[in-house]
Amino acid sequence: MSVLVDENSRVVVQGITGGEGRFHTEQMLEYGTDVVAGVVPGKGGQAVAGVPVYDTVSAAVRAENADTSVVFVPPGFAADALFEALDADLDVVVAITEGVPTQDVSRVSRVLDETDTHLVGPNGPGVITPGETKAGILPGNVFEPGPVGLVSRSGTLTYQIVDSLTARGFGQSTAVGIGGDPIVGTGFVEALRLFETDPDTEAVVLCGEIGGEDEEAAASYIDEQVETPVVGFVAGRTAPPGRRMGHAGAIVSGSGTGTAQNKIDALESAGVSVGKTPAEVVGHVADLLG
């Protein structure tokens, strides 16, 4: 079992003819993902890495029964690509694109609320269910199938922690990179809700970072509704206030909201074991799962 994507997922890549779209389509195919279609307006009829390209998402869904989209479309066109994906009634839409204007994401999120689609991202690495499929850019070689669910605002930090987990023999059920933007589709709470329904996820690792209050919301949700044990990590303890640390969403406000300490305190008071280093996180997982 897993969440969001599995061996039956049929993936369409929006923006498949661009450099990143092409490279990661090949990487996904190599991992075993069923990439069944690409979409680029005006390029229908071509093929990339043997994958047929369509002009619209609807045409791709009709012809190839795609149920999951991975979006590599540049920022200026990303919102439209996401609206198109939502219109096609897909189960999961993964937005890799970094730098989508926040007001665009707000409008996408508004439309998303009226659908049953799960949006993952933007500005995230996507979703992987190890041994089955990946929808995104995560490096498949560091993941192993197993009982640990992961949800994270940062791609590379996820890989780092997964690498340590795998090295210690703890595989992963599904890893969800929710993205580093101020507004994202699936947040921590929604990801935790999904993992809670997955019988094969025995523990969840939640990787947060400075900025916003999603970790605090996750802490309340864990306290009230999550039975699965959760291990936490929060990046940015050394981040100065008022400075954006890379991600558009990673900023401690001048008045001190969004600090790592605040998030760590909230998570700990909800019973989450929070590690100070990636190695400590893995240690906490080992304590839980033996």
Partner 1 sequence: MKLQEFQAKELFREAGIPTPTSRLARTVEEAVVAAEEIGCPVAVKAQVQVGGRGKAGGIELVESIDEVRAAANRILGMELKGYHVDRVLVEAAVEPANELYVGVTIDRGVGRPVAMVSTRGGVDIETVAAEDPDAIAREQIDPAFGMFEFQARKAVHEAGIDRSVADDVAAVLTALYDLWEERDGSDAEINPLLVTDDGVVAVDAVFNVDDSALFRQPDLAAVAEATATDELEQRAQDYGFDYVRLDGNVGIIGNGAGLVMTTLDLVEHYGGDPANFLDIGGGAKADRVANALDTVFADGRVEAVVFNIFGGITRGDEVATGINEALDRFDEIPKPVVVRLAGTEAARGMEILDTDRVRVESSLEDAVQAAVAAAGGRT
State the catalytic residues: 247
Minimum Å gap between C-beta 68 and partner 1 is 19
Minimum Å gap between C-beta 198 and partner 1 is 24
How far is it, in rounded angstroms, from Cα 53 to Cα 14?
9
- List residues binding partner 1 (CB under 8 A): 20, 24, 27, 75-76, 98-107, 109-111, 125, 137-139, 141-142, 152-160, 163, 180, 182-183, 207, 209-210, 212-214, 217, 233, 235-240, 243-250, 253-255, 257, 260, 276-279
DSSP state of 244: B
Q: Between residues 20 and 55, which has the closer beta carbon with respect to partner 1? A: 20
Number of H helices, E strands in the chain: 9, 14
DSSP E strand stretches across the chain: 10-14, 34-39, 47-48, 51-54, 68-71, 92-95, 118-120, 126-129, 133-136, 145-152, 172-177, 203-209, 230-235, 273-274
Minimum Å gap between C-beta 89 and partner 1 is 19
Q: Between residues 8 and 106, which has the closer beta carbon with respect to partner 1? A: 106
Minimum Å gap between C-beta 262 and partner 1 is 13
Q: Between residues 52 and 171, which has the closer beta carbon with respect to partner 1? A: 171
Q: Between residues 165 and 239, which has the closer beta carbon with respect to partner 1? A: 239
**Phi, psi (rounded to 5 degrees) for 263:** -70, -40
Is residue 30 classed exposed, middle or buried when 0-12, 13-18 and 19+ CB atoms within 10 A define those classes?
A: exposed
